[in-house]
Structure 1
């Protein structure tokens, strides 16, 4: 009997020892397994970055995002961005409406037109570029808008926002755009620049956007900026109304489903704008690296491009007042009618 008790006790002791050993093993981590787990966690975190396609035009509307483009290239951005830099908004407008492009920078009136034509499939997030137009003069006779009376003004954009903007300024200064001045339209800004280059001793006046104005000034040191169109507009209306060249828009469905990703984009975009305005040399080099403009031209143009980020109610107020001027001139310039309140993300 005692022998059986001893055997039983020994068996119980062995079981307890095995159990304790097993418990001890659970607390020991295999270094290889831990390292692999960390790698998997890092991979998972990287995968969680939101994939977003962003489009912009080859010019001022893209300059504000070059630091963000560089961060995306270095994989340090908060989202996984793919950028498309296009010559015209037509290259990505259909994809923007479909949602293949989530975010885009494009002309303000083009955004209004897309909103109206698509029944609200895009919305505006903010203003990213204010006025970029300047009136250049190879002489010194033009000091005010009223001084343009009797002059010939070379420009581009017949039937588009540059024409409507110029006509608005002329009319506001008491001039008849059809009889007090001659507006000579060219198909491309390069043609206007060529007219100025070949002026000789004759005074030539032209209205050009950046970066073309900067290019002319670089090539012809005697040419000057006679009038900043944005400043002249604000003299008439106050700072609450201004020329709005470019805006940031978002596909409506994408915004509904990915608000945090859009908020992250806006924060990163704001930092990129601040970088472009405070570090012109560095921004100019990035502009060339991403094949937007040559660095030398960008360096001259950036201070005159009015790159910004204006959101919320201030954005809506400025956009509405600007679009109203365009709509009064030609409703087709904004898609047939003023966009309703749903156009604005506030």
Structure 2
């Protein structure tokens, strides 16, 4: 049983992050500059280049918007973002050879790495961003879901895996005791807000959006707190991070380092300036500025390099490997997957 619950957990923690429909490109046109001194001068001496970055409409994208708006990588570097709305689209971006940086669910990058692709994880930037929500005033524990129907974003996604993990830990069998219906994140949010769905798993900023639209809906569980309770740990749940390929690193070492430093600074700025970050999300992604501003405190946006996140990543990957190795590509990824500028 323990093995079974661990299998489903894995898929979840690939993150959560759900996005716009088809790919959309946004070009950086601002004249402002704002970045630390790391290799910017050498980047500026190069020929003009365009960086194509795959992101979801979720927390990892927000620092990139700040970088675009400030020309953080120098006047000769144009940033374009392509939106991915499901892991399959992201994987296609990695394989097409036309993209340079990616916001990765952590299970996805591990699976790609273990399958032989030269992907590298640069940082972890999103932690504990998933919540279980309900409009049922009587709901108090997972066991109350016996005989109920739950709505979950994207089958085999991190929210799906962790939802099933907690249900199994509570002694419930999915498909027998509990029915799960899968849909896109936006569809789940709409059904929950309208009252069509009574129980659902969601991620930010959709969590805040639903509660603003329907005051009867509440957060019943923070998945991060449940993770800590079930596993007797203070460790945070790592959900997503930015990465690139070893090929890109080899060909552009200074630009890679500049991106990492600029992203770290931009993530700090986003957390310190929620109103301004919301305005950027509305400008570039079409999200409501007020929604992003209100949701930011619970979005779990916090920068750590991949190397500095090793403790959390080791626990995460080892747990999933014991549950179902295929969720992470057959084994715990070795340290070569982690980008280290030193």
Deviations 1:40-85 (A, max 9, x none): xxx998443784433212222212322112112xx77487142223
Residue 321 of structure 1: how far off its partner (Å): 2.2
- TM-score between the two structures when normalised by the length of structure 1: 0.75
Who is 1:282 aligned against? 276
Say if 2:153 is the partner of 1:191.
no
Name which one, 1 or 2, has greater alpha-carbon Rg.
1
Residues 154 and 185 in structure 2, CA contact (< 8 A), matched pair in contact too? no
Deviations 1:123-155 (A, max 9, x none): 111101112211112133334445545543222
Mapped partners of 1:280, 1:312: distance in 2: 25
Change (3 A) 1:45 1:76: closer
Query: Matches of residues 176-215 of structure 1 in structure 2 within 5 Å?
Result: 176-178=172-174, 181-199=177-195, 204-215=198-209
SS of alignment partner, residue 156 of structure 2: coil
Who is 2:130 aligned against? 133
SS of alignment partner, residue 64 of structure 1: helix
Root mean square deviation of aligned Cα: 3.0
Who is 2:263 aligned against? 269
Mapped partners of 2:147, 2:239: distance in 1: 28
Query: Matches of residues 124-273 of structure 1 in structure 2 within 5 Å?
Result: 124-149=121-146, 151-172=148-169, 174-178=170-174, 181-199=177-195, 204-237=198-231, 241-273=235-267
Residue 305 of structure 1: how far off its partner (Å): 1.2
Residues 210 and 305 in structure 1, CA contact (< 8 A), matched pair in contact too? yes
- Counting helix residues as a fraction of each chain, which structure ranks higher? 1
Say if 2:314 is the partner of 1:320.
yes
- TM-score between the two structures when normalised by the length of structure 2: 0.76
Residues 59 and 293 in structure 1, CA contact (< 8 A), matched pair in contact too? no
2:327 to 319, 327, 333: 333
Residues 79 and 264 in structure 1, CA contact (< 8 A), matched pair in contact too? no
Give the gaps of 5 or more residues in structure 1: 1-42
Mapped partners of 1:253, 1:262: distance in 2: 11
SS of alignment partner, residue 59 of structure 1: coil
Aligned residues: 298
SS of alignment partner, residue 55 of structure 1: strand
Mapped partners of 2:260, 2:140: distance in 1: 39
Mapped partners of 1:314, 1:177: distance in 2: 37
Residues 114 and 335 in structure 1, CA contact (< 8 A), matched pair in contact too? yes
Mapped partners of 1:338, 1:80: distance in 2: 35
Residues 56 and 104 in structure 1, CA contact (< 8 A), matched pair in contact too? yes
Who is 1:296 aligned against? 290
Residue 252 of structure 1: how far off its partner (Å): 0.5
Residue 156 of structure 1: how far off its partner (Å): 2.3
Deviations 1:310-330 (A, max 9, x none): 114442222232233444444
